[in-house]
Amino acid sequence: MKAIKPAGGPEAVSQAAAIISGGGIAAFPTETVYGLGADAFNPTAVSGVYAAKGRPGDNPLIMHVANPEKFFELTHNPPPYSRALIEAFWPGPLTIVAEKNPSLPAWVGGHPQGTADTAGIRMPSHPLALALIEASGCIVAAPSANLAGTPSPTLAEHVAGDFVNGEIDFILDGGAVPGGLESTVVDVTGPEPVILRPGAITVEMIAEAIGLITHGPDMSMNAENSTSCTTKTTKKTEPTAPPRSPGMKYRHYAPKAPMTLLIGSENGIAAYVQTQCINAQNQRVGILLTEETEAILRQNLPASPSFQFITLGIKTSIETIAQNLYAALRKFDAIGVDVIYAEGTAQDGLGIAIMDRMRKAAEGRIIHLPE
Ligand code: TXA
Ligand code: MG
């Protein structure tokens, strides 16, 4: 057992940078979630990242840069609209997948024993991430800093709790991340961008910024289909089948207790959860609601240690809900509830990314309640 105590401050940035340039693995905060960073050109270090996470070798890693021009060094003939994406959204929570520069080692961007034809690249906006990447002098390959099977970490403590066996060398502590959900991943290998993973940069924002049809995420991996393509366009072509992100085919995090996702009005959801609690017998019920719905339920439900409330945040602050979601799911696991009822959000803007993660956590248990 080698538990790591997260370290903060400017000295910690230098320490983390030295670890990465020296071939080690350091976790660091970004504006989305914590990442597990290694020198993207060091095969031993990158293998270590795959091994630490228990990540399948065919799932590539995002390469993090501190300078947008690195995108053009790492890629081959990216379309002109990729520059528009970079100008609009970098630094920020957007990963751009483009054809890889063929002069790079064949494996770079993926597992050292494989080959990667494309490169997923992102320039984060978190000041500690940028300082670390800059100081390391490396392109930093970094998946989310969680073990496969746990939610992405939004606190340094989450990272420390996942890696307790000496798999990683350092945790740079930047406190709670501002975002809470992983970056939007957009594929630019075709004539129009295709979103592979929804995030804080939405399909509408991309279409608006670059004036091109933008294909929404393929939600067929989810229990429900919801997202459609935008219609905003300056140029029309036949719709193309969106390529799959390798990461989408793997089982995603679901809490230990079965979670049911509830979609409907505050009153409808409160009434449903009340009935479930009353019928729960000796089960411990995890209740993950907005403040508004929780207030209604609490008026009608006697307080009991069997009913464990975690508040998502106020309904109108979708950003707060995104920030709180993963920490809440980790907390229910720690408390040890038997079932979880979670309130869904609006299904537009950032709500698309939140609902994508919530649907995966619910593994198909979704109930629509009357208004
Ligand atoms: O916000 C984030 O993106 C965080 C922070 C640390 O930057 N990172 C993150 O990494 O979420 P990870 O590895 O957990 O998720 C990256 C996703 C995966 O679904 C992966 O398949 C996809 O991006 N991806 C990475 N490179 C790709 C590529 N070349 N082609 C297609 N998909 C790619
Ligand atoms: Mg991940």
Domain boundary among 175, 210, 245: 210
Task: Report how far residue 209's alpha carbon sits from residue 94's, in angstroms, rounded to the nearest whole number.
Answer: 13
pTM: 0.93
Query: What's the pLDDT score for residue 3?
Result: 76
Which numbered atom of ligand 1 lies nearest the CA of 34?
Answer: 6
Task: Report how far residue 93's alpha carbon sits from residue 83's, in angstroms, rounded to the nearest whole number.
Answer: 16
How far does residue 267's CA lie from ligand 2's centre (Å)? 35
In this predicted model, what pLDDT tens digit does every residue of 117-138 receive, in sequence order? 999 999 999 999 999 999 999 9
Residues 92 and 151 in one domain: yes
How far does residue 128's CA lie from ligand 1's centre (Å)? 19
Query: What's the pLDDT score for residue 370?
Result: 80
In a domain, residue 241? The reply is yes
Total domains, the chain: 2
In a domain, residue 339? The reply is yes
Residues 116 and 244 in one domain: no
Residues 164 and 285 in one domain: no
Domain boundary among 161, 179, 210: 210
38 φ, ψ to 5°? -150, 160
Pairs from 208-212 (Cβ < 8 Å, separation ≥ 24):
208/232, 209/84, 209/85, 209/88, 209/89, 210/81, 210/84, 210/85, 210/88, 211/235, 212/81
Q: What is the mean pLDDT of residues 168-178?
A: 98
227 — pLDDT class (breaks 50, 70, 90): very low
Residues 180 and 232 in one domain: no
Helix (H) or strand (E) holding 140: strand 140-141
Query: What's the pLDDT score for residue 351?
Result: 97
pLDDT at residue 242 tops 50: no
In a domain, residue 4? The reply is no
Q: Which ligand is nearest to the CA of 143?
A: 1
Ligand 1 neighbours, Cβ below 6 Å, are 30, 32-33, 35, 59-62, 93, 95, 97, 109, 118-120, 122, 124, 142-144, 182-183, 185, 196-197, 245-247
Q: Which ligand is nearest to the CA of 115?
A: 1
Task: Report how far residue 334's alpha carbon sits from residue 284's, in angstroms, rounded to the nearest whole number.
Answer: 13
Residues 291 and 315 in one domain: yes
Query: What's the pLDDT score for residue 232?
Result: 31
Nearest CA to ligand 1 atom 7: 35
Cα 50 off chain centre by: 17
Residues 288 and 188 in one domain: no
In this predicted model, what pLDDT tens digit does every residue of 264-317 receive, in sequence order? 999 999 999 999 999 998 899 999 999 999 999 999 999 999 999 999 999 999
Q: What is the mean pLDDT of residues 316-324?
A: 97
pLDDT at residue 89 tops 50: yes
In this predicted model, what pLDDT tens digit does every residue of 25-67 receive, in sequence order? 999 999 999 999 999 999 999 999 999 999 999 999 999 999 9
229 — pLDDT class (breaks 50, 70, 90): very low
Q: Which ligand is nearest to the CA of 174?
A: 1
Query: What's the pLDDT score for residue 205?
Result: 97
Q: What is the CATH number of the domain that holds 297?
A: 3.40.50.11030
pLDDT at residue 239 tops 60: no
Domain holding 129, by residue range, is 10-210
Nearest CA to ligand 1 atom 31: 245
Q: What is the mean pLDDT of residues 93-116?
A: 98
Residues 194 and 340 in one domain: no
Residue 20 contacts residue 37 (beta carbons within 8 Å): yes
